[in-house]
Structure 1
Amino acid sequence: MESTDTHARDRVTDLADLAAGALLSEASDVEALLRVAEVHKLRVAYQWAIAHPALYACETPSGPTLPSVLTAPETLGGAGTPTVAAFTPEPLAVALGCSPAAASTLIADALDLHHRLPLLWDQTCAQLVPAWKARRVAARTRHLSVEAARWVDRQVAGRVSSLSLPALDRVVADAAARCDGEEQAHREAAARLSWDVVLTHADPHHYAGTSELHASGDTLDLIRFHDVVCAEAEALGALGDTDDLGVRKAKALGVIADAQARLDLASLLATGDPASHQAARQAARQAALGRRDAKVRLYLHASLAGVVAGDACATDSVEGIGPVTLDLVRDWAGRARVTVQPVLHVAADDRWSVDRHDPPPRMADEVRLRDESCVFPWCGRPARQCDLDHRVPFEDPGDGGPPGQTSPESLAPLCRRHHRAKTAGSWSYERVGSGTYLWGGPAGLSVLVTPRGTVALPRG
């Protein structure tokens, strides 16, 4: 390791002495190496997949048995690709130092390229197409039949490398629709299942006090709503708001939310019925008040001294959002109902316990605040979406189980998939400290998960 590091430092030092042409040549060499490496990674992923075929039945003295729900085979690629054994992506994810979801996608892309897009795969191996573009086509055609995918493969052959990303997506979508037109209506209907409005709290280091709202839905509805937002932003500008248009559009969302359901009172007044006018105003007012009373739960980690002192610039932290000033918290409090939640001292309360399987709400909150995500290596799924796993399997006290088996110390958040992996015996872990877990997996893998990062340990 030391000689490699020394060689790397020498190369970095040598770069300072290179002329412009030599630097460009070095950049070209690096890019070529990266392209070769990306193709080789796809080859490794494919080989790992076929080395772990699905096990549909196994022979026992009493006859063949089917896998349990915990070990059911997985279909990662599109139609026509081989299925793989349960939890095949996890060891590869640890080896690559990426999330299991990313490893699943890598395997799926490798399977699709080999079995469904052979022309594109050949061009990728020949360095005529970047691996990332080939993977893009694989992902965009995964829902198609084998025949349709092969048709798309022939249509995009020789064109992929010269297309920009949006143009590539359009070509693939057009080819898919042309060869599978009868399914277009079904895909449009299925796409409705993905409609949602999702609130995401962005990176608190760069976007303090700012969140993102992502909406997916009917194209016409969203165009119309966007037009309303833009019109409101223009109105704010006409009233003297000097912020940029983008900022005014974001502020317009708050205006729309507080605008008494955006009822067109002018059209209601045209009916000429004073009683109806009054009823409409009252209904709009109640609707607005109802939205103002919507509950928002925030866990604020604040200094009591800072709150009492009233320092507007005092900064504390909101769980799941990040650092915010108390002045911003006061602003939020003025626009929504606020419930004070006592602070949970997760370090001090680690050893209290109960004599039942399911933890009480306060204990569940404590564990999820201590471990903010699934504790499987590189998983990252938020703890609020996870099961709370008993590290030592729970034994009913009525059947002789010991008391106090459920405690913050004995619990850890695991997403449903990795809870299954642990229960099935594919992986095991032990707690070596607060928020720190040592995992063991197939092929002698050992991984240490800590609050500061995840580290793959040497085998053996």
Structure 2
Amino acid sequence: MFEDSATGALTAMIADSYRQESALIGRRLAAVAELLGRRTSEAEAEDPDCGYMIVTGLQRTSAEVAAAMNLSPGIASALVADAEALDSRFPKVMAVLMAGETDWRTVQIILKRTNLVRDPSVVAALDGRLSAGVGRWQSWSRKRVVDTVDAAVRALDPDAIRERESAEDKRHFDVVPVGDGTAKVDGTLDAESAVIVDERIASLARGVCPQDPRTLDQRRADAVAAMAKGLALACRCPACAGADTPTPTMGEACGARAVINVIADQFTVLGAGDKPGYLAGFGVVDAEVVRRMAERATLRVLTPPSVTPEQMKRYQPTAAVERFVRMRDLTCRFPGCDRPAERCDLDHTIPFNHVDPSSGGHTVADNLKCLCRQHHRLKTFHDGWRDLQLPDGTVVWTSPTGRVYRTAPGGVELFPRLGPPACVEPKPRRRNPSRERDRRIVRTREKNRALRPVNIAHRRLESARKHEIQNRKDGNRRRRTALLMARHRRSATPYLRWIDEPDQPEALPPDWRPPQGPDEPPF
């Protein structure tokens, strides 16, 4: 069928068919919900108190759906219940599914994680919030979707939080023999203890050399016994087989100290808010759990770290940069991957230039992201995948066939303060045009009052200067005219002595001032 199709066309076919499948599932669920409504109306018409009927509307619908889709009764009933919940509780999310902008797996997570919410106003608020963001979750892993939905539920419905916290009362730890020389270990722990145990087992499993013949699952299983005995996990490779049995160190004998990271809002830690936190390696935890762990924890303010020019030219990031990037991303940033950030490498989006570090690829938070070892190698050694990291931490991936995927950092999604400041629309300034006009008039009148005497003095001075220049020009002209008309030598007559005087300059110096008369006010 696809022998003559290009590779990019195959990828496009996969994506388009998945989108069409999601839209088709949405239409199917809408049809199931409509059928349920009609069968329920029929049952209510037969008996208003149809809850005690032998064959209810739900049972009638489930039977028809099971026959039409060749499903078992239990699966058909679950499908009808999901259709009813989606149609009555989350119509906006259902519209997104019918448009093919999300998938059925994500919608199932929403239905499952919100089944404890019963307040219609809270359900409506969740419907609006989740439908607005579900279209951006295309590249998210299942765990990340669960964390985001749980955070929204905890923020809007405290009663649902308390119901979920009651699950801690069911914690247990059982060892059940299975009869073939092994036993099954099963239990339920609180979130903090579970993360500590998991981290300790993982540390022991990683402590053997690479030549150990056991798989990772086998090493983790053997690490449980080593942890219980306070010993390091013994390596089983031929080179280490003859080594002495590991002896417990002081830290191992008393239990090694495990370091776990919790991200929470400042108001939650101080008891002024109930916004949930995030336990690294586990997921979203309630505010009370955060405060309980904060009582004996070292607190740090998680802010974008400052990096000196020398530090950004080093390949290894500083401890502050590494901590911020891991807490910002929470998981591997490749589309669909949910490996915890604590088990990921830090990748330079713009490759670090080992020859000339100052030319680019700096070791700063804006150029670093978490990638698990598998996807780190894929990005580094496969020329087909390209990535671009935006200032807000979003990574834009381009596949070998040219398809584009966007992954946003999980920490910013749960804690927006970890991201850059958002562009906030300026608030309109309250104005009163009438009062502003009155104030302008007052300022203008005051300015006129101050300038009036200055302008009067300036005009009088300019008038006096013009009058003085004109008088000098007139005097010089009369003198030259008198000399021209007198046909004799200049006489020493006292009445004509002014003729012998030199001409006056017809330009005045800048500091000239008119002479003051006895009765004239000073300028």
Bin for the TM-score computed over the shorter chain: 0.3 to 0.5
What TM-score comes out, normalization by structure 1 length? 0.40
Tell me the TM-score normalised to structure 2 length.
Answer: 0.36
- Greater per-residue strand proportion: 1
* Structure with greater Cα Rg: 2
